[in-house]
Structure 1
Amino acid sequence: MNQAAIHKILAGKPGSKPTPRKLTQLFEKRRGANFTLIQDLFFSLYPETRHTASFKSLQKLLADGFKNRPAELKHQDLQRQGDGNWYQSGAWVGMQLYVDRFCGDLKKLAERIPYFEALGINFLHLMPITKRPSGPNDGGYAVNSYTEIDPRYGTDQDFISLTAAFREKGICLMLDFVVNHTSDEFPWALEAKAGNLKYQEYYYTFPDRNMPDLFEQSLPEVFPETSPGNFTYCPQMERWVMTVFNSYQWDLNYTNPAVFLSMLENLLELSNKGVDVIRFDALAFLWKKIGTSSQNLPEAHRLVALFRLCLQVVAPGVIILAEAIVAPEEIVAYFGKGILEGNECEIAYNATFMACLWNSVATKKTRLLRQSLGNLPPKPDPSTWINYVRCHDDIGLGFDDSHISALGWDPQTHRRFLLDYFCQRLDWSPAKGAVFMYNPFTGDGRITGSTASLLGLERALEEEDALKISSAEAKILMLYGIILAAPGIPLIYAGDEIGMLNDYSYMEEADKMMDSRWINRPIHDWDTVSGLSSEKNHASRIYFGLQHLIALRKQQPGLADVCSIHYHDSGNNHLLVFERDGETDNGILILANFDESPQVVRTALLGALGYMREGQFHNLIDGKTKKVRSGLLELPPAELLWLRKY
């Protein structure tokens, strides 16, 4: 049993509003329930013989964190405990956005709550909004503070007011916790540069290249084009600093318990400001060890579990998302394995799902998608996925090579085909994307571009081709209709709901021009939004189509993540066919055609599964019951069906 389930039992049935004394008693129960696991994890990373005092400091941090947690949030914690795994509900639909590019600042974001409500959004991931360097800052992921709001977005009070407004409207807020590194302007880094030995030990710093060169023998490069290597020389302190991502992002040294304690203090403070979901950025990199890739190490998993179990004691209604864009078996591991099963992160990105969807767009075939998802190791029951079509980042091609080879394709050649297809290297491809971080030595690269441009809408509008425009619209709604029907929380990237295209203006900005991911981070088009109800164009058709799918999702109990999923081989490799909660009357069968031509599926299969009776089927999306007069059901290109079980 995971610790959250134990805490629910300890809390008992939700009743009248608990007194402060009762809340404190429940805190003590949670601390007692987690104490042994926290102690074992802490001393497995930091040996007891040297770090007993640090463990006592940890206990005080937990008590102070609970003391400082507002009463309103303590009551919300208990409500969520009573609701069980609240994040597995099918009612959540998310959106990811940059506040400044979406609407300007936090006050203006609060004014946009009606926009989210109209679309059906009740889960928001705001990209980093805390203080960062004024120059290059990796889109805010080079942090100068974990808790102080950057003035460009407003004040700390603006943020507190925003979280209160979100709670009133039932909107769940997710923020990043850049757990692996700080900026080189962070207070600890400035102290280190000034010669403070205490803070030099907060990072991996070395007086010469001996240790860095040993690390480099097995460390991969994250940004080979713009930040080759994993160490940067700091002339102020005459030392080499580990900088796995960018030269201005210093990796934290978690072998030092003072780093963990300081970061836990930041995590608790962020949670106490009203954040509901904490996105652990780059958590796969947390522990470094010579002779390894320094990714996904056992110590990193223990560290994540330690963070989670401590947070759970103070704020049991707050959960952690794993930002681990790694191999499928490694992704599932961040839910916890063995004694830690269900005790690491509650949510993780289903990056495999996203990448395989784009593979199916390019190849028009779904076998790799079905094979990859069907071979995902099972996740613990109390966990869930974030499913997405696009996000602020690139599209990686981290498929399992054995799955590609099983299809008769050469893995390296296939990845190059995908780069060519999406990045304007094939005249016949409708996609208009760009390459991100191409490595000429390995031939590897990643893909950037907005959903609409990658699916052909930009090119179709340029050509003023109505049929191609309609085809691109259908593909957008098909992909989003698939993730809306999949187990987990669907996440829409802001702008996709109105079919926004690539933004090439980043090429004119010095601090962005070397990062092609900005092509997919446009300024939100509120002029288009204002005309949605009065104009019939691609934006309105996409918006209202997506709005309808979101509302439909929330009406279907079979789409919650407590319900099953099963992938079916329809005999047609162009079709994706999967079933949600098929063992009950709430069953829904999803069919999607990835080909550019009409495709057919046997009606015998639909009948055997219970989704066709006497030649009739009911499509939930258009609300119509239709009759098939032959043994085959035809799906037009990019057709999406949600069939109701009879």
Structure 2
Amino acid sequence: MNQASLHRLLMANAKKKDPKILFDQRLATNLTLIQQLYFSLYPEETNLDNFQKLLSLLPVLFKERPEHLKLQDISRIEEGNWYQSEKIVGMQLYVEHFNKDLKGLREKIPYFKELGVNFLHLMPITTRPKGESDGGYAVNDYLKVDPKYGTKEDLLELTAEFRKQGIYLMLDFVVNHTSNEFSWAKKAIRGDKKYQGYYYTFEDYTIPAEFEKTLPEVFPETSPGSFTYIPEMGRWVMTVFNSYQWDLNYTNPDVFLEMLTNLVKLSDQGVDVVRFDALAFLWKKMGTISQNLPEAHTLIALFRMCLQVVAPGVILLAEAIVAPMDIIKYFGVDQKEGNECEIAYNASLMALLWNSVATKKTTLLYKSLLHVPDKPKDCTWINYIRCHDDIGLGYENHLIQELGWSPDMHRKFLLDYYCQHLDWSPATGLMFMYNPKTGDGRITGSAASLLGLEKGLALNDKSLIEASISKIIMLHGITLAFGGIPLIYAGDEIGTLNDYSYQKDPAKKEDNRWVNRPMQDWETIAKLDDIQSPPSKIFHTLKRLIAIRKNEPVFADHNNLSLCHTGNDHILVFERKLASGEGLLVLSNFDQNPQVIETSWIKKLGYFAQGDPVDLVTENKVSINSGLLEIAPYQLIWLKKS
């Protein structure tokens, strides 16, 4: 049993739901685990005083938490795993790209309600350096709202309105690094030894040179290497991502205490989900790639156990875009199972869907998904086809080889397919951070442009336009039906194309990820009554699919998904099933041609034994008695007993 389940059980037996009494109960329940985690990172013989500081800090942080959020914490514990509900549908957006600022965002709540979105991930809204800031992920302050978005009061008014409207909010916690303008970094530059110890800083290049032997480059084109020399400080500092992003030194226990305080105070602003950014990089060790280390998992669990004591209604999302077998570990394994992050990005599914679009086959998709262990029952995924970032090709080499393919050549094919190196490809994407030394690269571009809509419109090719619309709907339909929270990137719901305006902005032109970070097109949205336009077809279909999802309890995530094999390599089929035995089949055709599957196995599913089922997508009955079922190109089917 994970700690959250234990808290729920204990609270159910509590005679009085007093927040302070329940806090004391949670602290007592988590204390042994917190102690074990803490001393495994910071040896007991030299850190007893620091551990006492942590124990003294937790009651202070709880006392400062607003009363209405303490009461919400209690209701969340009673509610259980609310984040696994079929009624949650999310959207990710840049506030300034969506509607100017926080007040402008609040004005658009009716738009979210119309589409059916009730979970929002706002990209960083805190202060950041002028010019390059890695999209806001170079943090000047964890709690101050950047003036271009408004004020802290605007944020608090927004979160209060979200609570009234039943909208969950996710904000980023850039846990791995700060900007070089952060107060700690400024003090370090001025020679303050305490704050130099908050980062990895070195007098000469000897130790950095040893680190560099095994550290992979994150941004080899724009920020090669992982260390930057700071002349004013006379020291080298670790900068794994960009030269203006300084990596925090979590081997220093004071850093953990400071960051825990920032985490809780961020939560106190009305945040429901905290996105732990770049958490795979949290612990650095010479001689390793300093990613996914056991100490990083211990540190995450320590953050989680402490947050759970103070603010148990707030949960963590793992932003770990790593290999499939590594992603699953951020839910916690062994003693930490279910005690790290409640949610993780299903980056493997995302990358595999793009692979299936390019190859028109689902073989690697099936093989990879079957290779990943089941997640803990109290955790869930965020399923998405596109986010603000690039698309990486993080497939397992040995699985590619088992299909008879060369991993290097296969990745080259995918880059060529999506990045306009093949004349016949419908995709209009761009290459991101290509490393000629390794052949590695990533893909940028809006979902619609990567799926052919941009090219179809440019050529006025009606068949290509319709095919791209079908692909957009199919991929989103899969994420809506797969176990977890579906997350739509703002603009994808109306088929927004690549935005090339970033090339004229000095602060953005070197980062082509901005091509898939467009301004929300409110002029197009105002014309959605034109039901024949591509944006209207996409929007209204997704709106209907979202409504269907929210009305079908089978879509709640209870580890109730099973892959089904049809013998047709172009088809993906998976089943969602209730404990009662009722179920639903999701079928998708990744080929440009109609495909046929044999249906006798469908009839053997108990809930399809009598009569013909209905496709919830089209509302038409589907005959499975003929023995064969034809699935149109890029068709999505949600099959349920009629």
Bin the TM-score by the shorter chain: over 0.9
Partner of 2:11: 11
Corresponding residue of 1:581: 577
Match of 2:558 in 1: 562
The farther-off stretch of 438-447 and 612-621 is 612-621
Q: Find the counterpart in structure 2 of residue 373 from structure 1.
A: 369
Per-residue deviation, 1:617 = 2.8
Task: Provide the rounded CA distance (Å) in 2 between the counterparts of 1:315 and 1:406.
Answer: 46
2:612–2:641 CA contact under 8 A, matched in 1: no
Task: Choose the corresponding residue for 2:628, options 605, 628, 632.
Answer: 632
Counterpart residue type for residue 185 of structure 1: E
Determine if contact 1:474/1:639 at 8 Å carries over to the other structure. Answer: yes
Rounded Cα–Cα distance in structure 2 between residues aligned with 1:349 and 1:380: 15
**1:142-181 → structure 2 map (5 Å cutoff):** 142-181=138-177
Contact 1:453/1:459 (CA < 8 Å) preserved in 2?
Answer: yes
8 Å CA contact 1:422–1:434 kept in 2: the answer is yes
Task: Measure, in 1, the Cα distance between the counterparts of 2:297 and 2:454.
Answer: 42
Is the CA contact 1:14–1:79 (under 8 Å) kept in the aligned structure 2?
no
Counterpart of 2:57 (choices 57, 61, 68) is 61
The one of 78, 96, 117 aligned to 1:82: 78
Distance between the aligned counterparts of 2:77 and 2:173, measured in 1?
A: 23
CA distance in 2, matches of 1:600, 1:283: 44
1:645, CA displacement in angstroms?
3.5
Q: Kindly report which structure 2 residues correspond to 1:58-457, keeping only aligned pairs within 5 A, or say none.
A: 58-457=54-453
**1:354-393: per-residue Cα shift (whole Å, max 9, x none)?**
0000000000000111111111112111100000000000
Measure how far apart 1:479 and its partner are.
0.3
Change in Cα spacing, 1:365 to 1:538, as seen in structure 2 (3 Å) is: same
The question of whether the paired residues in 1 share the 8 Å contact of 2:599 and 2:625 is answered with no
The answer to whether the Cα contact below 8 Å between 2:575 and 2:586 also exists between their aligned partners in 1 is: yes
Q: Alignment partner for residue 526 of structure 1, among 522, 526, 538?
A: 522
Provide the C-alpha distance between the structure 2 equivalents of 1:448 and 1:60, rounded to a whole number of angstroms.
Answer: 47
1:568 CA displacement: 1.1
State the shift of 1:563 in Å: 4.8
Q: Distance in 2 between matches of 1:350 and 1:627?
A: 33
Identity %: 60
1:585-605 deviation digits (Å, cap 9, x = unpaired): 430001000000000011212
Structure 2 unaligned blocks of 5 or more: none
Deviation readout 1:27-46 (Å, 9 max, x if unpaired)? 00001101111111111111
Distance 1:85 1:583 in 2: 17
> Which whole-Å CA distance do the structure 1 matches of 2:203 and 2:142 have between them?
28
Bigger mean CA deviation after superposition, 529-538 or 404-413: 529-538
Deviation, 1:24, is 0.4
Secondary structure class of the residue paired with 2:141: coil
- Name the CA distance, whole Å, in 2 between partners of 1:45 and 1:614: 59
Matched, 1:39 2:41: no
Residue 504 of structure 2 corresponds to 508
> Normalising by structure 2, what TM-score?
0.98
Change in Cα spacing, 1:63 to 1:614, as seen in structure 2 (3 Å) is closer
Assess, with a 3 A threshold, how the Cα gap between structure 1 residues 583 and 609 changes in structure 2: closer, same or farther. farther
Q: Aligned partners of 2:526 and 2:294: how far apart in 1?
A: 51
3-state secondary structure, aligned to 1:334: helix
For 2:394 and 2:268, locate their aligned partners in 1 and report how far apart those are by CA, in whole Å.
Answer: 36
Once structures 1 and 2 are overlaid, which stretch shifts more, 499-508 or 46-55? 46-55
Distance 1:101 1:13, change over 3 A: farther
1:9 partner amino acid: L
TM-score computed with the length of structure 1 as normaliser: 0.98
The CA deviation at 1:277 is 0.3
- Is 1:603 the counterpart of 2:593? The answer is no
1:255-285 Cα distance to aligned partner (Å, 9 max, x none): 0011000000100100111100000000010
Q: What code does the residue aligned with 1:244 have?
A: V
SS in 1 for 2:613: strand
Give the drift of 1:533.
1.9
- Match of 2:540, SS state, is helix
Listed as ranges, the gaps of 5+ residues in structure 1 are none
Amino acid at match of 1:238: G
Residue 412 of structure 1 aligns to a residue whose secondary structure is: helix
Task: Judge which range, 608-617 or 545-554, deviates more.
Answer: 608-617
What SS is found at the alignment partner of 2:22? helix
Deviation at 1:574, TM superposition (A): 0.3
- Three-state SS of the structure 2 residue aligned to 1:416 is helix
Give the aligned length. 642
Q: Report the AA paired with residue 177 of structure 1.
A: F
Distance 2:624 2:88 in 1: 35
Shift, 1:614, TM fit = 6.3
State the alpha-carbon separation in 1 of the partners of residues 282 and 207 from structure 2: 18
Cα–Cα, structure 1 residues 604 and 494, in superposed 2: closer, same or farther, change >3 Å? same
Residues in 1 aligned to 2:186 and 2:52: alpha-carbon distance in whole angstroms: 28
| SS at structure 1 position matched to 2:437 | coil
CA distance in structure 1 between the partners assigned to 2:73 and 2:65 by the alignment: 11
Give SS of 1:66's match.
helix
Q: CA deviation at 1:11?
A: 1.5
Residue pair 1:166, 1:173 contacting (<8 A) in 2 also: yes
Cα deviations by residue, 1:145-196 (Å, 9 ceiling, x for unpaired): 1111000000000000000000011101000000000000000000000010
Quickly say closer, same or farther: Cα 1:308–1:367, change in 2 above 3 A. same
Question: Could you say which residue in structure 1 is the equivalent of 2:464?
Answer: 468
SS in 2 for 1:452: helix
1: CA distance, partners of 2:70 / 2:352: 40
For residues 531 and 426 of structure 2, the distance between their equivalents in structure 1, rounded to whole angstroms, comes to: 25
Instruction: Give the whole-Å Cα distance in 2 for the aligned partners of 1:645 and 1:305.
Output: 42
